[in-house]
Amino acid sequence: MRINKFLAEQGVASRRGADEIVAQGRVSINGKVAKAGDEVGPEDTVTLDGKILSHKVKYEYYLLNKPKGCVCTVNDKKENKETTRKTVMDFLPQGAGHVYPVGRLDYASEGMLILTNDGDLAYRLTAPQNEIPKTYLVRVEGAVSTAQLSRLRAGVEIEKGVVTKKCKVTVTETDKKFTKLHVVLTEGKNREIRRMFEVVGLHVDFLKRIRIGELTLAGLDRGAIRRLTPEEVFYLKNL
């Protein structure tokens, strides 16, 4: 298998993150510095920062109901910070293996987040071409017009040359002060929903991911985490 996939299966990073680690010259295969695209077999010795990585991997899968006020990273790398912010890794139970978050929710957002060291599953859930549906509960200030809904559903340009895919947007509750909506995306651009709504003149004051495919947060309190069941893992692998 390719070196980035091998590193992802070790729980080192996502495939994209593994590519960056390889580019930094931190990985060696049989004593030689690895390059992007190198292949790794069971007989090869792979080291990261001088430490040998085992070919045997025990996969772990967790579901976290992320609260707002924490970051979706393994370490908080915010520069010039006076205090270290809480990360989603702080919610893992004692004894958990080296897992990492699949996709991201921004600091002010909350909801469903999967953490695993299964690189193939992480890739399946985040690769844009797989179009895995993710449902969000969104609350905005004031009413939402039919024209604004139409623009959001059709796709909007969130920066020069970057247009969001068509998506499902459904109003679930509204009055003069606020509107609640369900938004179903099949891609995951940075702060996509907040930027989409900004383009059409709406301010998002609450954002929560409530579903990946048909997997929900039922019974999982804010800030709580649990292992995924074998049936849930099978379901996600076959989305």
Give the residue numbers marked as catalytic. Answer: 106
CB 72 within 8 A of CB 105: yes
Reference 184, options 196, 201, 198; nearest CA is 196
Tokens, residue 46: 């792979």
Q: Contacts by 234-238 with C-beta closer than 8 Å and gap 24+?
A: 236/114, 236/121, 236/124, 236/125, 236/212, 237/120, 237/121, 237/124
Question: For residue 139, with 0-12 CB atoms within 10 Å meaning exposed, 13-18 middle and 19 or more buried, which class applies?
Answer: middle
Whole-angstrom Cα distance, residue 110 to residue 89?
15
Q: What is the three-class DSSP state of 111?
A: strand
Reference 213, options 142, 77, 114; nearest CA is 114
CB 193 within 8 A of CB 230: no
155 contacts: CB under 8 Å, gap ≥ 6: 163, 164, 165, 166, 167
